């Protein structure tokens, strides 16, 4: 069986656990400091009772509940607690995977009774972190994830062969992970309204109407397979790109443009392997300076070319006011970790969508064909 463990209102619950004044109060966590101009990225259950939920503007939320408490998001805090929970769960010895910052999946065997074990995990999470979690139990990851939503908060739901159809019949199809508004509408037009309607459709039917996604959805719904925990061993130690210029140059804008391009190329390779780097290394070579290299760490892992470029610029700034002649240069990222997180906030989601599109374009037209613009960069970019 698969256990899907999902923290209830994770960010908001953490804030309430840390600050007793916020306990049992309607609370939102905003992606920015400005309480009037941000997006709700988490709402406490007390706030949800007013109809407030993530994705809503804080202005609308405040209108629904004027005495709403507000806390700007502390991303580092949430990631840190998530890591602690992961480590605690790992201690049970079953294979474990991240599904998102506040969701974990565990593949258990017959040595434990699923419901009792789920209760034990909930109690442990509450004792250690003072937050609650809901657990879904089913034969595969998709159904377990669905089950985790059925009795929120602090609930347990088990989908067994005997109760599966009865329960799926009560749940709207939009509750299934991956069925968004658009797919939901297509399904609804086909008469597929509940999860059971979807479950009873054939692979052919779903493929005909939803394409490859439909076929995969069928497989996910009916799979008896255990998930494969992500392999961590095969990841490289570092990812880098370098380039030798046709002749030595000391024009800062030109050198920066090259650093930018190399940073973007490195970032693209990190993203292709779903990795984050925690350190950037820049080296420059020139007739006057010989080999010169330095490194700089990130606060949090990154695979964003612009951030890699920014770190590289800081390294360059240390060289001095006058740029020596540069003949060759390279950007390398190390301290590589698997990227386990989905973007938390709207701004990050937009940035990630942009980067994904850029990766697609570069995949088709060649590396370095396009990358995000910034103000202050030279207009003419070098081409490889
Ligand atoms: Mg959650």
Task: Domain ranges for the chain, please list them.
Answer: 4-76, 104-222, 238-365
d(Cα 296, Cα 236) in Å, to the nearest integer? 19
Q: Find the 6 Cα to ligand 1 centroid distance in Å.
A: 5
Answer yes or no: 232 catalytic.
Answer: no
Please identify which residue in the block is written with the tokens 């079953």: 94
- Of 90, 103, 166, 288, which is the active-site residue? 103
Please report the pLDDT score of residue 154 as a whole number: 97
Say what percent of the chain tops pLDDT 70.
Answer: 90
For the chain, the average pLDDT equals: 86
Q: How far is CA 133 from the centre of its chain?
A: 19
d(CA 151, CA 136): 9
- Cβ atoms of 152 and 13 within 8 Å: the answer is no
CA of 214 relative to ligand 1 center, distance in Å: 26
pTM reported for the whole predicted model = 0.64
- 238-365 and 4-76 share a CATH fold: no
Q: Do residues 184 and 209 touch, judged by C-beta distance below 8 A?
A: no
Give the distance from CA 69 to its chain's centroid. 26
Q: Is domain 238-365 in CATH 3.30.1490.100, yes or no?
A: yes
Tell the residue number behind the tokens 């920066």, with chain if given.
Answer: 256
Task: Encode pLDDT of 200-257 as tens digits.
Answer: 999 999 999 998 889 889 988 998 754 444 444 466 788 888 787 777 888 888 888 8
Give the whole-number percent of the chain exceeding pLDDT 90: 47
Q: How far is the centre of ligand 1, averaged over its atoms, from the C-alpha of 12 (Å)?
A: 10
Q: Which CATH architecture has domain 4-76?
A: 3-Layer(aba) Sandwich (3.40)
Say if residues 138 and 144 touch (Cβ distance below 8 Å): yes
Residue 186: φ, ψ to 5°? -60, -45
User: What local confidence, expressed as pLDDT, does residue 231 receive?
Assistant: 45
| Residue pLDDT, tens place only, 139-194 | 998 999 999 999 999 999 999 999 999 999 999 999 998 888 889 999 999 999 99
Q: Are 32 and 65 in contact (CB under 8 A)?
A: no
**How far away, in angstroms, is 265 Cα from ligand 1 center?**
34
Q: Could you tell me which CATH number the domain at 104-222 has?
A: 1.10.150.20
Does position 333 have pLDDT exceeding 90, yes or no? Answer: yes
Distance 42 CA to ligand 1 centre (A): 9
Cα–ligand 1 centroid distance for 372 (angstroms):
32
Closest alpha carbon to 176 in 158, 156, 155, 199: 199
What confidence tens digit (pLDDT) does each residue in 353-381 have?
A: 888 888 877 777 666 667 666 543 334 44
Burial of 322 (0-12, 13-18, 19+ CB in 10 A): exposed
User: Looking at residue 367, what is its pLDDT?
Assistant: 62
What average pLDDT does this structure show over 11-28?
96
| Nearest-angstrom CA–CA distance, 283 and 259 | 10
9 Cα: distance to centroid of ligand 1 (angstroms) = 5
Is residue 99 over pLDDT 70?
yes
């Amino acid at each position: 069986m698969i256990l899907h463990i999902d923290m209830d209102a994770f960010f908001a619950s953490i804030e309430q656990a840390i600050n007793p004044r916020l306990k049992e109060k309607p609370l939102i966590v905003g992606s920015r400091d400005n309480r009037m101009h941000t997006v709700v990225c988490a709402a406490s259950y007390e706030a949800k009772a007013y109809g407030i939920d993530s994705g809503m503007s804080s202005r609308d939320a405040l209108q629904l509940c004027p005495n709403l408490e507000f806390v700007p998001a502390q991303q580092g805090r949430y990631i840190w607690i998530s890591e602690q929970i992961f480590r605690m769960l790992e201690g049970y010895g079953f294979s474990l995977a991240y599904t998102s910052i506040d969701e974990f999946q565990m593949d258990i065997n017959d040595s434990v009774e699923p419901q009792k074990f789920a209760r034990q995990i909930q109690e442990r999470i509450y004792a250690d972190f003072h937050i609650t979690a809901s657990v879904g139990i089913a034969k595969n990851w998709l159904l377990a994830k669905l089950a985790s939503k059925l009795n929120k908060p602090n609930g347990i739901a088990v989908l067994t062969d005997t109760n599966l159809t009865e329960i799926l019949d009560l749940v709207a199809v939009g509750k299934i992970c991956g069925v968004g508004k658009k797919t939901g509408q297509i399904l609804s037009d086909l008469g597929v309204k509940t999860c059971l309607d979807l479950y009873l459709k054939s692979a052919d039917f779903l493929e005909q109407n939803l394409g490859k996604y439909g076929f995969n959805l069928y497989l996910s719904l009916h799979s008896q397979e255990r998930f494969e925990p992500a392999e961590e061993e095969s990841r490289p130690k570092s990812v880098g790109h370098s380039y030798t210029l046709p002749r030595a140059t000391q024009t800062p804008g030109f050198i920066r443009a090259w650093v930018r391009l190399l940073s973007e190329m490195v970032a693209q390779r990190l993203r292709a392997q779903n990795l984050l780097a925690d350190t950037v290394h820049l080296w420059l070579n020139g007739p006057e300076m010989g080999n010169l290299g330095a490194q700089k760490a990130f606060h949090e892992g990154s695979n964003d070319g612009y951030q890699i470029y920014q770190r590289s610029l800081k390294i360059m700034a240390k060289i001095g006011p006058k740029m020596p002649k540069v003949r060759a240069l390279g950007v390398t990222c190390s301290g590589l970790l698997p990227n386990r997180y989905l973007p938390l906030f709207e701004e990050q989601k937009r940035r990630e969508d942009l980067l994904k599109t850029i990766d697609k374009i570069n995949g088709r037209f060649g590396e370095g064909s396009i990358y995000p613009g910034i103000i202050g960069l030279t207009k003419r970019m070098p081409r490889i």
